[in-house]
Structure 1
Amino acid sequence: MSRLLIVHGTGGPRRSDDSVRREWISSIEDGLALAGYPAVAPDAALVNLDAPDRVPALGDGDPAAEAALLRRCWRAATFDAEAGAEPVGEDALAARLAWSRYFCGLTVEELTGTLRQVRAFAGGPAAGHPAVDDVRAALGPDTEIVIGHCLGGVAAALALADAGAAAPALITLGAPHPPVVGPPASGPATWVDLTDVQDTLLLATGTAPAGVTGRVSLDCDPRVRGARNYLASPEFGKVLGTLLETSPGG
């Protein structure tokens, strides 16, 4: 069985498991090397929320809430050129926002679908989101570390929320966690949450998860499409390298 479980988030074009795995493994190797650890390809299982045959669970639409999140993303976004005045109308706003650095050329449909999925996670575990069930099903007896990017990080955190101290260690990267409802999570004993100072979704949602045992802020110029910019950073490499050394299989 695999020591690592990687949970690739969603928000960009559909991608095969092979494509996602190659990006993650090579990026993890780069991050470990930058942090001074051996760049060894980890043995990892995968949950790919961008799989071509996967149908996103979007939940019920709330036009007012979706429009408000879209406007918050606009205020938080960065652009390669002067953004100009806020476009009038949600379609025009989404079209311009799709060319911000973070959303990086998504179609309007992909961008608005991503924002709807962010809201679909807002109810927490009680929402019964299929991605949360997929993460739970992928956990094995030898899983020591779970790494989730963007909505993959949200799904991973929700999947481990009631697993207690025996749960695998958790690393979440650029994950727009939903607001906490009810008592604090009784999840993993080790949970490191990495956030970027330019991560548009994090700045727009403004949420901070309960149960986090370590927080790392970095500046890696993130993209919603892929996890590489987070993974191929010395900050991530240091976190993962430390966990690999101290985990039972280290």
Structure 2
Amino acid sequence: MSRIVLVHGIAQEVLGPETLLAEWYPALSDGLTLGSGPGVPREEVSMAFYGDLFRQKGHRGPGVPELDAGDVEDGIERELLLQWWEHAARLESRVPGPGDRTRLRTPHLVQRALDALSHSAFFAGIGERLMIGAARQVRRYFTEPALRDTIGQRLADTLTDRTELVVAHSLGSVVAYEALCARPERPDVALVTLGSPLGVRNIVFDRLRPAPTHSRGRWPAPVRQWVNIADGGDLVALAKELGPLFGDRVRDLPIHNGARAHDVRPYLTAAPTGRVIAEALAGHAR
């Protein structure tokens, strides 16, 4: 009956809704248990899946086509990589910053950013191709209207009149925000965003639909309460607090996920997240 709808982020193109739900549901249940909340049966939880829309078409040769700095497009892709670089350099001393003299060793600005990010704990073990691929999915979402509409419709089709809570991670929080704004007539829901990039100026916030007015994002009409949860080391959630941009009704909650700052599983297993989810479900019942 979709009492809870989950919305994933980028880099899920080779998975599917049931595969992802099999990963997320145990973490969701653990968070509820640790937060002293009641459990939610699996049949009451659904995954709004859109990853397949980013899956590449078949090509000759094995593996995924390589991407390098020369493939990074100006605009969203380039600016997102540079913002990740700047933020990582502020958080970690081992990451050389854009203003360091070491930047002169590599002539290409984007290549310097990729090289620097490879030293960060956040991107540990992730190659250049995956970093570029992540930025590319964000760019495609905002620059391909048909893709954006289809993704939003996937979420709308997963929501039911009995849906009480939407839990959205990473780019999924943008999908959830826009889809709920576009459907003011639907029954009210609670919204929990995890590692959200909604507050990233110039790249995300200023491209939202509906467009912000006077530097303030519109409140999604069906949302009765909104809790935003962000780890201080999460590079995707560059703006940790959404209240200043979307209003005082947003409750911003800091959290610590350890080495996997952006991974959805430590977000979900955290007791504070479990308490927030339990409170949202209880609030709907009252």
Q: TM tier, shorter chain?
A: 0.7 to 0.9
Q: Aligned pair 1:173/2:194, yes or no? A: yes
Unaligned runs of at least 5 residues, structure 1: none
Give the aligned length. Answer: 243
Task: Give CA deviations for 1:146-182 in whole Å, capped at 9, x if unaligned.
Answer: 1110011110111001433833211111111132524
Contact 1:4–1:44, Cα closer than 8 Å, also in 2? yes
Q: Aligned pair 1:44/2:45, yes or no? A: yes
CA distance in 1, matches of 2:118, 2:15: 19
Look up the SS of the partner of 1:77 in the other structure: helix
Task: Give CA deviations for 1:22-58 in whole Å, capped at 9, x if unaligned.
Answer: 22111111111221223444421112343xx43269x
* Change over 3 Å in CA distance of 1:128–1:209 after alignment to 2: farther
Identity %: 25
RMSD: 3.3
In the other structure, the counterpart of 2:23 is: 23
Q: Aligned pair 1:134/2:154, yes or no? A: yes
Look up the SS of the partner of 1:192 in the other structure: strand
- Compute the displacement of 1:128 (Å): 4.0
Look up the SS of the partner of 1:36 in the other structure: coil
Contact 2:13–2:54, Cα closer than 8 Å, also in 1? no
CA distance in 1, matches of 2:13, 2:158: 23
In the other structure, the counterpart of 1:159 is: 179
Query: Where is the helix percentage greater, Structure 1 or Structure 2?
Result: 2
CA distance in 1, matches of 2:47, 2:5: 6
CA distance in 2, matches of 1:192, 1:98: 32
| Structure (1 or 2) with the larger CA radius of gyration | 2
Look up the SS of the partner of 1:146 in the other structure: strand
Task: Give CA deviations for 1:49-102 in whole Å, capped at 9, x if unaligned.
Answer: 43xx43269xxx851543232122012127889334557332353255256333
Which of the residues 233, 256, 259 maps onto 1:198?
233
Q: Which moved more, 1:238-247 or 1:35-44?
A: 35-44
Q: Which moved more, 1:154-163 or 1:174-183?
A: 174-183
Which of the residues 124, 148, 166 maps onto 1:146?
166
* Change over 3 Å in CA distance of 1:54–1:64 after alignment to 2: closer
Contact 1:9–1:49, Cα closer than 8 Å, also in 2? no
Amino acid of the structure 1 residue aligned with 2:26: S
What TM-score, normalized by structure 1, do the two folds share? 0.80
